[in-house]
Amino acid sequence: MTTPSPGVVSLTASLQSTSTSATIVRCPSATLSRLRQLNEAEIITLFTPFVPHPPSTPLAKNMDPFEPLGRSLPRQVRHVPYRLDNGMTETHIDFLSTSGAVIIVVCSTENVINYNSQAFEQQIKFARNIAKKVEEIKSLDDTPVVLLLITNGAASQIHEDELTDFPALITCDNYTPDALKAIVHLVFGV
C-alpha cells in the first residue's frame, strides 16, 4: 500500500449518501486549511458553466443549476457563469483580482455530454485558462484554486484522469441541490 504524499488529503476523505458521492480526490492540506479559514472579507469566486439542469431537478427552470452551491458556501460568493462556446473573457479575468479563493466547476455528466459532445473539452479549456491567469496575477499568490468535477457514467474516470494538472480536485456524481450542499459540507466542514 502506498502512503499519500505529506500534506495531501487523500481519497479517503469522502462523503457518501444514497443519492450522491462527493470526494476530495486530492487537495494539498494547506489549500484545504486556507479554504476553511477564509476571513469574512474574502470573496469566493465561483465559476460555473451554462449547462442544462440535472434530470428530475426541483429547481425552477429559470434558476441557475449551481445557485444552490453558491448559496451554500460559507463566505461571500461572486457567482460568475461562463458559456462553453465563449470560454474565458475579460469579464472573467476582472473578477479574479478580488478573489480570496477560486472554485471552477466543470460539469460533464451524461445529460450534459448528450446535449453537447464537446462540453468537457470546452470547460477544461476554460478551467485551465482561469488557473493560468491566477498564477500570472501576483496579488493572487496565496489564492486557492479548486476544480470541482461533476461527472458520471462511463467517462467519469477518463475525465478525472485528464485533470492531473489541478492540485485541488473534488468530484461529485451529480449536481442536484443536495449534492452541491454535500460538496460544501465535505470541503468546508459546514
If pLDDT is split at 50, 70 and 90, which confidence band does 18 have?
Answer: very low
| Domain that includes residue 36, residue range | 8-188
End-to-end CA distance of the chain: 32
pLDDT at 59 over 60: yes
- Tell me the CATH number at 99: 3.40.50.1700
pLDDT at 17 over 90: no
Number of domains within the chain = 1
- Asked if residue 47 is part of any domain, the answer here is yes
The SS3 call for residue 19 is: coil
- Asked if residue 3 is part of any domain, the answer here is no
pLDDT of residue 13: 43
What is the percentage of the chain residues whose pLDDT exceeds 90?
71
- Asked if residue 160 is part of any domain, the answer here is yes
CA dihedral 170, 13, 29, 140 (to 10 degrees): 20
- Asked if residue 27 is part of any domain, the answer here is yes
- Asked if residue 2 is part of any domain, the answer here is no
- Asked if residue 52 is part of any domain, the answer here is yes
Q: Which three cell numbers stand for residue 116?
A: 453537447
- Asked if residue 131 is part of any domain, the answer here is yes
- Asked if residue 75 is part of any domain, the answer here is yes
User: What mean pLDDT is reported for the chain?
Assistant: 88
pLDDT at 23 over 50: yes
pTM of the model: 0.88
Give the mean model confidence (pLDDT) for residues 1-17.
43
pLDDT of residue 158: 93
If pLDDT is split at 50, 70 and 90, which confidence band does 1 have?
Answer: very low
